[in-house]
Structure 1
């Protein structure tokens, strides 16, 4: 009986979609106008995202230079944007400097990807489980809140002891903890904002709670899922740096202390600048992807 109701709902949804497509395709002018409007919406979204990225980069450079120039820190210790540019691009040994730092950057990005992917998957799975069962939410949410409230530095030795020092598992666990809570909160919020009228339609046609989740809640939660991804990008980088500092000793997180101890301040500032710029670029790439997907789906973007 349940399968029959689900099939009826699928047929009704497919029929409504087909009817809408036929109505638009019956009028070539309306179809052309719809496609033109969609392209303009995507172009506007891309333009806003690129402008925001440029403004963020300019503000970052200005604040960086202001801190270096106005705080009175010795130029031997504090390096400004021009110093880092010279170190990486125009100096005679710039190629050697890049060869030294780029592998560290690649390792940190790899570690960040592990934490981002695992954290987002766990957050989405938990959010779906919480939406389907209040009992699961009551049992698991306190543990999630506990992991969020306890400083990660204090429980990191236990995590490293269990997973092994310098292993990918330790990077994954630390990165997941950093990413999990903000991503979970955003996805849960999106799932709870589903249209009541759409949910009623699913129930009228005999759809189950899982069917409503698949057809209404998840599509409606896409803006929140993308918001969770944007928040998780810098969180994943932070988690990777922390894991490298506490566990693996590799990447930029593991090298910053070495640069500081060896008074290699140019390497220190250059590595921080590189990871910061890459994080901003990744954040804006996710935002551009969000704008494209939501514009194609006819949904309002978050960067209005």
Structure 2
């Protein structure tokens, strides 16, 4: 009986509509055109929002440098960073010096992002399947969230080893885990109870309803978790580099500050901020594309 489960993602009414569309080339072409226009509109909106964000960040940065009264020897603005990377005589050497630092931080951020998202998805599924697991594990997750990471970092490094990939993964996962878990778990609990009841009526269990109902409906929340996790993963990577590996942007910031290399310091901060904003907006563009193709309205969480 379980083999005759109703496809809750495509109910009979929707399947009938799809058959009508397949029999009507004009309606099918109109549907494709509407989806293409919606897709271009969402991509254009995302790009405009990204440009506005970059402009606001640059304006705020310049205002802080210009009107905060900080010495120009210490405070460097966008023009100083631009000159350091592109117009100074040593610009090529400066870019060559910054490239491996940025690359290392991106690698460390990717490790934290991947492990954090996988852990969040697995825990969200387990919490949805078993309230006992949620009652036992959620306090530990909340504990990791409330305790300052700097205070438990020595224990993490002692267990995983200083400068190891494991230390980067654990620290990045702790930073990413809670907001991603909260978003994904919220999405899984928003499924239609009527659709879940249909699965149960046709013999499907909790795991089947999770696969056929909860997960398809949690798409927007999953992308929201990914967007929130991007800056979290970068923050976790910087912390791991500062506390454990001593590499990348996080490990170099202290060196630049101690050696009074303030241009390099501000350039590092500017580059990692720019990359974080870029990655955030890339995830948002991918989210809008996927949601439009799935027939969902972007921006509705």
TM range (shorter): over 0.9
Cα deviation, 1:159-188, whole Å, max 9, x if unaligned, reads 000000000000000000000000000000
2:298 counterpart of 1:301: yes
Q: Deviations over 1:227-250 (max 9, x none)?
A: 000000000000000000000000
Secondary structure of the corresponding residue to residue 74 of structure 1: coil
- Hey, what does 1:235 align to over in structure 2? 232
Choose from 3, 9, 27 the match for 2:5.
9
The 3 A distance-change label for structure 1 pair 90 and 276 is: same
Q: Unaligned regions of 5+ residues in structure 2, if any?
A: none
- Preserved CA contact (<8 Å) 1:25 1:31: yes
Structure 1 residue 193 and structure 2 residue 190: aligned? Answer: yes
Does 2:106 align with 1:109?
Answer: yes
Residue 116 of structure 2 is aligned to residue 100 of structure 1: no
Q: CA deviation at 1:195?
A: 1.4
1:173 lines up with 2:170 in the alignment: yes
Rounded Cα–Cα distance in structure 2 between residues aligned with 1:293 and 1:189: 20
Provide the residue aligned with 2:282 in structure 1: 285
Measure the CA separation in 2 of the matches of 1:45 and 1:124.
27
Which of residues 265, 270, 273 in structure 2 aligns to 1:268?
Answer: 265
Q: Does 2:27 match 1:53?
A: no
Counterpart of 1:76 in 2: which secondary structure? coil
The normalised TM-score by structure 2 is 0.97
Distance 1:149 1:173 in 2: 16
Give the distance between the partners of 1:12 and 1:286, measured in 2 at CA. Answer: 28
User: Shift of the alpha carbon at 1:303?
Assistant: 7.0
* Change in CA separation of 1:254 and 1:303 when aligned onto 2, cut-off 3 Å: farther
What is the TM-score normalised by the length of structure 1?
Answer: 0.96
Q: In 2, Cα distance between the equivalents of 1:109 and 1:300?
A: 31
Q: What's the secondary structure of 1:166's corresponding residue?
A: coil
Other structure's SS at 2:5 match: helix
- Give RMSD over aligned pairs: 1.5
Which stretch shows the higher mean deviation, 201-210 or 118-127?
Answer: 201-210
Aligned residue among 115, 120, 140 for 1:118: 115
Structure 1 gap segments, 5+ residues each: none
Task: Kindly state the Cα deviation for residue 73 of structure 1 after the two structures are TM-superposed.
Answer: 0.8
Call closer, same or farther: CA 1:11–1:260 in 2, change over 3 Å: closer
Query: Contact 1:48 / 1:303 at 8 angstroms: preserved in 2?
Result: no
1:42 aligns with 39
* C-alpha contact (below 8 Å) 2:109/2:237 kept by paired residues: yes
Find the counterpart in structure 2 of residue 143 from structure 1.
140
**What does the per-residue CA deviation read over 1:16-38, in whole Å, with 9 as the maximum and x for residues that have no partner?**
47544322111111111111111
Whether the 8 Å contact between 2:8 and 2:195 is mirrored in structure 1 is no
Q: Deviations over 1:47-74 (max 9, x none)?
A: 1110110000000000000000001111
